[in-house]
């Protein structure tokens, strides 16, 4: 049944192509705001640095585009300071710590002189700072995730640094083929670009069902004219074992996303995933919507799915299960569900930008398991988030403070404050 929903979504997307001209002949237009003239001010100025990078690319007659994203964090977690653990990961004990959330370096280029054939590689050497602090604070970092002071070089898997690595064939904006590793078809917040996030942390829904990468092939189309609306679709066939991992040589997983935009302001869409793991099925289906008007943005999603906790892996290791909350306050009477579980999630958010400032709020709920197999059922984790952003240098610099209040089964459990300094050039 779930696989049928995937194919229905894909069929709807392809049928929309029958009445239009698919193969576009126009070459992409140059960005009118682009300048290859180095800024006359100090290199320390962010805007000048960006201009100088563009100028060097032009001077060297190179069509390689270089992008960088740095997100430096300070995290204060009341949950960890009172209980000795935290809600980010089992081994970090990161209740008061500095870390790099992201430190991405991206290279992309056309193949030869054909802009319709291109490649991209996105590396993040800072992932261990956020995801692998070690068993106790102060131990050596390891890309393997757990390490001690005597960590050997053999513990480091360099490919875990790779986020995106793919070839793109884009002879038409209505049918673009991507081969390699990247974010496959998934829910709205999870597939959004990291440098333009609404808050420092994803919602529980997006952390569970989205923000995931895998290796496979993908067909996508955008801005498809369909009368009063513009259509978009993504259809992915992936290995299903997660980012930077070997294929598990079982049935390939399917993912799809389709949406429609009216008047460039109102968007409505859906996403779906259908796959099979060693111990049981893995699927999800969701609805999503967004409305943007001037500086105001309203967005909401609802999603439900099924996964087996025994299949916890790089493909589904966030909050599909409560593993990201290793110590639950006894007052909540929370029982850890296990086996084939059926989580659901939703969120609603609103933010408003005025000049260089943006204020936002989000409420999201995540039910770990609607149907009890072993452990508890119908136990919800709610998170209330408030955020304030300050932008500078044409949004290349972004300073953010977020405050989160976490509740389990309606009982207040812990609070988190995150400060983020972001540079995107």
The answer to whether 84 and 74 are in contact (CB under 8 A) is no
Q: What is the pLDDT of residues 112-130, one digit of tens each?
A: 888 899 999 999 888 655 5
Compute the half-sphere exposure of residue 280: CA atoms within 13 Å on the CB side of its CA: 15
Per-chain mean pLDDT for the chain: 76
Q: pLDDT-derived band of residue 187, with 50, 70 and 90 as boundaries? A: very high
Q: Which residues pair with 344 in a beta bridge?
A: 304, 367
The percent of residues above 90 in pLDDT, for the chain, comes to: 41
pLDDT tens profile 380-395: 888 999 999 999 999 9
Helix (H) / strand (E) element for 131: namely helix 127-131
Q: What are phi and psi of 58, to 5 degrees?
A: -70, -45
pLDDT tens digits for range 48-89? 666 666 665 565 556 889 999 999 999 887 754 444 444 444
Ramachandran angles phi, psi of 279, nearest 5°: -105, 0
Strand pairing class (411-424; 397-408): antiparallel
Residue 133 predicted with pLDDT over 50: no
Quick check: helix, strand or coil at residue 232? Answer: strand
pLDDT at 180 over 80: yes
Q: With the C-alpha atoms ordered 127, 103, 192, 383, is the resulting torsion angle positive or negative?
A: positive
Mark residue 78 as left, alpha or beta (left: phi above 0; alpha: psi -120 to 50; beta: remaining): alpha
**What is the homologous superfamily of the domain 2-22+35-424 according to CATH?**
Porin (2.40.160.10)
pTM greater than the 0.85 cutoff: no
């Amino acid at each position: 049944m779930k696989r049928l929903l995937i194919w229905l979504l894909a069929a709807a997307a392809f049928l929309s192509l029958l009445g239009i001209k698919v193969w576009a002949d126009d070459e992409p237009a140059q960005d009118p705001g682009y300048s290859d003239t180095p800024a006359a001010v100090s290199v320390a100025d962010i805007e000048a640095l960006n201009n100088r990078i563009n100028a060097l690319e032009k001077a060297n007659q190179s069509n390689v585009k270089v992008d960088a994203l740095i997100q430096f964090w300070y995290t204060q977690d009341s949950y960890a300071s009172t209980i000795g653990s935290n809600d980010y990961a089992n081994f970090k004990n990161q209740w008061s710590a500095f870390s790099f959330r992201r430190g991405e370096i991206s290279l992309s280029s056309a193949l030869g002189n054909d802009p319709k054939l291109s490649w991209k590689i996105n590396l993040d050497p800072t992932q261990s700072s956020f995801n692998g602090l070690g068993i106790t604070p102060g131990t050596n970092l390891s890309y393997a995730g757990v390490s001690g002071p005597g960590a050997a070089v053999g513990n480091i898997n360099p490919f875990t640094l790779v986020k995106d690595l793919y070839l793109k064939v884009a002879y038409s904006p209505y049918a673009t083929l991507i081969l390699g590793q990247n974010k496959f078809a998934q829910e709205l917040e999870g597939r959004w670009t990291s440098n333009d996030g609404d808050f420092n942390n994803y919602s529980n829904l997006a952390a569970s069902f989205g923000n995931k990468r895998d290796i496979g092939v993908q067909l996508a189309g955008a801005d498809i004219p369909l009368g009063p609306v513009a259509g978009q679709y993504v259809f992915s066939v992936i290995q299903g074992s997660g980012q930077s991992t070997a294929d598990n040589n079982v049935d390939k997983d399917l993912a799809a996303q389709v949406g429609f935009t009216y008047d460039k302001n109102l968007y409505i869409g859906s996403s779906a995933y259908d796959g099979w793991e060693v111990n049981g099925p893995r699927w999800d289906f969701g609805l999503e919507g967004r409305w943007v008007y001037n500086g105001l943005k309203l967005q909401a999603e609802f999603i439900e799915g099924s996964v087996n906790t025994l299949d916890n892996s790089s493909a589904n290791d966030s909050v599909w299960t409560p593993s990201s909350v290793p110590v639950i306050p006894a007052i909540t009477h929370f029982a850890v569900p296990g086996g084939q579980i059926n989580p659901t999630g939703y969120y609603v958010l609103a933010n408003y930008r005025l000049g260089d400032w943006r204020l936002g709020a989000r409420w999201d709920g995540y039910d770990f398991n609607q149907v009890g197999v072993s452990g508890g059922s119908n136990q919800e984790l709610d998170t209330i988030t408030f955020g304030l952003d300050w932008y500078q240098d044409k949004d290349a610099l972004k300073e953010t403070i977020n405050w989160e209040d976490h509740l389990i089964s309606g009982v207040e459990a812990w609070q988190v404050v995150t400060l983020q300094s972001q540079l995107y050039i």
